[in-house]
Amino acid sequence: MTHSVRRIGILTSGGDAPGMNAALRAVVLSAEAAGIEVVGFRHGFNGIFSEDYVPLKKADVLHIIQLGGTILKSARCKQLQQQGGAELAATKLHQLAIDALLVIGGDGSFRGCQAISAFYRGQIVGIPGTIDNDVDGTDFTIGFATALDTALDAIDKIRDTADAFERTFLVEVMGRHTGYLALAAGIAGGAEQIICPEYGDKVDLDDLLQDIKALKRDFGAGSYIIVIAETMYPAGAQALAAEITTRSGTECRACVLGHLQRGGSPVGSDRILGTKLGAFAVEQLLSGNAHMMMAGEQAGQALLYPLVLTGDKKKQADPYLLKWQQQMLQQSETQN
Ligand code: F6P
């Protein structure tokens, strides 16, 4: 991969995340400073197939750092997963004289990169952007910090009304198969309980009812907030709340935060992470080091991590906090 890079293609893919625009902006600014042309494919990988792309110059990205969502639009792409899809995408990239492809997304999007790389002659570089934070090789993904603050804002508000009515609340947060958001939002929101995949793959209702009973004995009537990761109760948080109400005799309500968590102006740390990883991706790509790598950050250092390993799910939600939360709950159970 030593040929010189004259034209970069960039796209945002999968669930949008606040800070994606900051990364885009940094890529365009860095590339333009190096005399490299950038084209943005719209609607994720779909833009490659439909040749829906726009030239991106400094002027196009000047005031987007504060915007949530993505100016390029995002999507999941069925065509890429179909027979012959990856080869066709590579052919299109060759025809459009794209020397390198930058993909801002999560591990699903990076699997798409792997498929294309089998047929593509240029470099492919990933930048981790998802509110789920479930990408190996980087401490944080772009968008996680903002989603956490959004979830927290909601939890704090729910606490007010839950206290006023002395209700139990289930607050469902996003995060397919991982509990990064649930754990972080639960800890920072002072939730009485957190239910996420790291504690087991499904809800044990009897156990949960025992916990609620024990906490109510401990703290008296009051609010009891359970932060639950999506997919933990297949019938959904509303159904679980109804079940808790019937079986515990105390009123339980559910609030599903859903896509609200994906929106909003990125917090400072997401703008900074997006800027750093966007700039680093371009720098490394131009030095020829970055083919099939992700630009990530660990312990404050920007680094390259093999794209093929980003979906291994080796990264763990904070084990210290997971343990502490459980200990507090168990202590309350044993006191009763
Ligand atoms: O990947 C981010 C994510 O927000 C997940 O947490 C969630 O499960 C999923 O996207 C929802 O995707 P969609 O917007 O396609 O329903």
State whether 41 and 180 are in the same domain: no
- Is it the case that residue 2 has pLDDT exceeding 60? no
Residue 318 included in any domain: no
Q: Is the pLDDT of residue 50 over 80?
A: yes
Q: Are residues 196 and 178 in the same domain?
A: yes
Q: In whole angstroms, what separates CA 247 from the centre of its chain?
A: 35
For residue 13, give the CATH number of its domain: 3.40.50.450
Specify the ligand 1 atom closest to the Cα of 261: 4
Residue 314 belongs to a domain: no
Is 17 part of any domain?
Answer: yes
Distance 257 CA to ligand 1 centre (A): 12
Give the residue-averaged pLDDT of 306-321: 96
- 325 domain residue, yes or no: no
Residue 282 falls inside a structural domain: yes
Query: pLDDT tens digits, residue range 183-230?
Result: 999 999 999 999 999 999 889 999 999 988 888 887 777 899 999 999
Q: Are residues 23 and 128 in the same domain?
A: yes
Residue 314: Cβ within 10 Å count: 9
Active site residue 132: yes
pLDDT tens track for 102-114: 999 999 999 999 9
Ligand 1 centre to CA of 188 (Å) is 22
Q: What is the Å distance from ligand 1's center to 112 Cα?
A: 17
User: Is 278 found in the same domain as 138?
Assistant: yes
Atom in ligand 1 nearest the alpha carbon of residue 230: 8
Place of tokens 């009515």: 165
315 lies in some domain: no
Concatenated DSSP letters of 59-72? HHHTT-TT-SS-TT
Both 193 and 137 in a single domain?
no
103-to-32, 173, 184 alpha-carbon distances in Å? 18, 26, 27
Q: What is the mean pLDDT of the chain?
A: 95
Residues 248 and 107 grouped into a single domain? no
DSSP string, 186-236: HHHTT-SEEE-GGG-SS--HHHHHHHHHHHHHHH-SS-EEEEEETTSSTT-
Are residues 124 and 17 located together in one domain of the fold? Answer: yes
Does residue 226 share a domain with residue 151? Answer: yes
- Output the pLDDT for position 268: 98
Distance CA 130, CA 269 (A): 14
Q: Is the CB of 107 under 6 A from ligand 1?
A: no
Establish if 322 belongs to a structural domain.
no
How far apart CA 273 and CA 141 sit, in angstroms, is 8
Q: What is the pLDDT of residues 286-303, one digit of tens each?
A: 999 899 999 999 999 999
Catalytic residue among 16, 107, 132, 134: 132
Instruction: Check residue 335 and give its pLDDT.
Output: 66
Q: What is the span of the domain harbouring residue 241? A: 145-262
According to DSSP H, which parts of 63-106 are helical? 78-81, 85-95
Q: In a mutational test of the pocket of ligand 1, which residue from 110, 131, 228 has the highest number of ligand atoms less than 8 Å from its CB? A: 131
For the CA of 262, the closest atom of ligand 1 is 4
Q: What percent of the chain has pLDDT over 70?
A: 98
pLDDT for 222? 84
Q: Is 181 in the pocket of ligand 1 (CB under 6 A)?
A: no
Q: What pLDDT sits at residue 4?
A: 87
CA of 218 to the centre of ligand 1 (A): 37
In the chain, what percentage of residues exceed pLDDT 90? 90
Structure tokens at 12: 């945002």
Does 176 sit in the ligand 1 pocket, CB within 6 Å?
yes
Q: Does residue 14 have its Cβ closer than 6 Å to ligand 1?
A: yes
Residues 240 and 271 in one domain: no
Answer whether 0.85 is exceeded by the pTM.
yes
**Binding site membership of 106 for ligand 1 (Cβ less than 6 Å):** yes
Do both 43 and 164 map to the same domain? no
Q: Where does a domain end: 204, 236, 262?
A: 262
Which of 242, 262, 282 is the C-terminal boundary of a domain? 262
Q: Are residues 179 and 281 in the same domain?
A: no
State the pLDDT at residue 250.
84
- The pLDDT value recorded for residue 192 is 93
* CA 73/CA 69 separation, integer angstroms: 7
CA-108 nearest atom, ligand 1: 1
Ligand 1 binding pocket includes 167 (Cβ within 6 Å): no
Number of domains comprising the chain: 2
What's the confidence (pLDDT) of residue 49? 98
User: What CATH number is associated with residue 238?
Assistant: 3.40.50.460
- Interval 169-183 mean pLDDT: 95
- Kindly state the average pLDDT of the residues 113-137: 98
Q: Answer yes or no: is 292 within a domain.
A: yes
In terms of domains, do 270 and 204 share one? no
Q: What is the pLDDT of residues 4-40, one digit of tens each?
A: 899 999 999 999 999 999 999 999 999 999 999 999 9
